[in-house]
Structure 1
């Protein structure tokens, strides 16, 4: 972790904080029978209270589609057969009946000055499932 002053002015106390977080998705691939529930996990290399994960689905020839944001919230129009959960540094997407590529996106916000978001960090990881 590195703390770097954003200003040499003694009256400015904002700091820029760099934190390296790696997301590891598992399993890399899997085959299931139609109607069977699938669970995909993304594990963060370290814990940061203000990290949230979004899950995206991508089908061939299409742009990624947001399914889940803030760990567990459904994007507009996303059916209940998709669900997200979190336990510590492990983020989980559960799916029924939908073959595609799935990606997790870790998004962090550090609140160093009131409620303003001082830093956002994004880490992508994805596999064909």
Structure 2
């Protein structure tokens, strides 16, 4: 019996999280911004309903997998510089870079999730 799993199916299974609330809408602002080295940068994220602090922040650079920076609204992922921070509760959350560095140029986004930080799978082709 062939027990192999097509990578597409595996991806779908990884995305399916029991108890996850897929109907919650997230609104992030601003959609883009310009800042100088050393500036304090703030991004906000609003959920359509209470996500009970299950809010993660990611950084993504071109051609790279997303990198988890903050989970559970304010917990810094191991190895992430302390200039990154998160705060908030209920429906309103904030991500802050206290002193912008050149290497911080990237796309940042929030993601809600009930549970531990998700695993980001990158398939190398």
- Length-normalised TM-score, structure 1: 0.65
**Counterpart for residue 37 of structure 2:** 34
- Bigger radius of gyration among the two: 1
Q: Deviations over 1:60-104 (max 9, x none)?
A: 111111100111001110010100001431111101321100011
Aligned to 2:110: 104
Instruction: Give 1 or 2: higher strand fraction.
Output: 1
1:92 matched to which residue of 2? 94
Choose from 8, 20, 24 the match for 1:21: 24
Count of residues paired in the alignment: 95
- Segments of 5+ residues of structure 2 without an aligned counterpart are 1-18, 119-125
More helix by share: 2
User: Is this contact kept in 1: 2:21–2:113, CA < 8 A?
Assistant: no
Task: Provide the aligned C-alpha RMSD in A.
Answer: 2.3
Note the C-alpha offset of 1:37: 0.8
- In the other structure, the counterpart of 1:80 is 82
Q: Give CA deviations for 1:26-58 in whole Å, capped at 9, x if unaligned.
A: 000000111101100110011243x51111101
Instruction: Give the TM-score taking structure 2 as reference length.
Output: 0.67
